[in-house]
């Protein structure tokens, strides 16, 4: 029985073109849950059948933002974020307002934004779909949110939620090794230390005033049918909210 890695190698040979014209930058998070050196190399090999591919690994927080912004400046036809939702959000922040489309390859534990767009959560299917899009090139705009001058694609957390993510993202090795267990431990530890007695509170003023210790903010779902390539446009404020 062929393994996913064998399938990726087959795809590269099956869908190859003599002279790919579109330039692609793949931004790889080496600490993402399902990413490995061998998987990255095979994904790059397969995609080179239809694109001129460069792949760069992130080295620190916000590195994906800097890489995607530089790629847009250098005229890449598409930037692909290969990692989890954090990597995708960083890449989108760097591309916000540019004409360079963003593609997504699932490499995290949950890959929420992939699911929002209808992107397959299995790497072979995801790679094949991206290969076939080289012949069906129709980028579509999506809405972005903005908090503290930072763009986000689908959700931003304030309070306890943000504290937990900050802790987990500061230790990518533990996040990759322990997954959901590390999130749970971080949430319990932070809650006991900072939120059990006299917790910081958030006042949210929309149509009704709400006080809480955790507040998610979400963008609306992308219009139309699911798409792989998304043009990251600046957000439009339609419903006021003060935090």
Report pLDDT digits (tens) over 158-215. 788 888 888 887 887 787 788 788 888 998 998 888 888 777 776 666 565 555 555 5
Say whether both 211 and 227 belong to one domain.
no
**Does residue 68 surpass a pLDDT of 80?**
yes
Enclosing domain of residue 122 = 4-152+219-232
| CA-based R_g, the chain, Å | 19
CA-closest candidate to residue 60, choices 40, 30, 33: 30
The number of domains in the chain is 2
- The verdict on residue 240 lying in a domain is no
- Which pTM does this prediction carry? 0.74
- The verdict on residue 237 lying in a domain is no
Tens digits of residue pLDDT in 97-125: 899 999 999 998 888 888 888 888 899 99
- The verdict on residue 166 lying in a domain is yes
Say whether both 104 and 13 belong to one domain.
yes
Does the CA dihedral 30-35-39-43 come out positive or negative? negative
Residue 174, token pair as written in the block: 């533990």
């Amino acid at each position: 029985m062929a393994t996913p890695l064998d399938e990726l190698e087959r795809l590269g040979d099956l869908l190859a073109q003599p002279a790919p014209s579109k330039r692609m930058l793949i931004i790889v998070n080496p600490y993402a849950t399902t990413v490995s050196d061998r998987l990255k190399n095979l994904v790059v090999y397969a995609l080179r059948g239809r694109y001129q591919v460069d792949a760069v690994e992130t080295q620190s927080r916000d590195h994906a933002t800097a890489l995607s912004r530089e790629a847009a400046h250098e005229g890449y036809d598409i930037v692909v974020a290969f990692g989890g939702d954090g990597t995708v959000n960083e890449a989108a922040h760097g591309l916000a307002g540019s004409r360079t489309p963003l593609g997504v390859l699932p490499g995290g534990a949950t890959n929420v934004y992939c699911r929002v767009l209808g992107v397959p959560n299995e790497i072979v299917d995801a790679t094949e779909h991206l290969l076939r899009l080289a012949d069906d090139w129709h980028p579509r705009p999506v809405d972005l949110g903005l908090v503290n001058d930072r763009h986000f694609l689908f959700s931003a957390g304030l309070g306890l939620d943000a504290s937990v993510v900050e802790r987990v993202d500061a230790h990518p090795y533990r996040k990759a090794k322990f997954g959901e267990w590390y999130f749970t431990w971080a949430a319990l530890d932070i809650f006991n230390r900072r939120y059990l007695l006299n917790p910081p509170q958030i006042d949210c003023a929309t149509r009704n005033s709400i006080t809480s210790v955790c507040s998610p903010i979400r963008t609306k779902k992308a219009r139309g049918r699911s798409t792989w390539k998304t043009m990251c446009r600046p957000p439009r404020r339609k419903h006021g909210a003060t935090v």
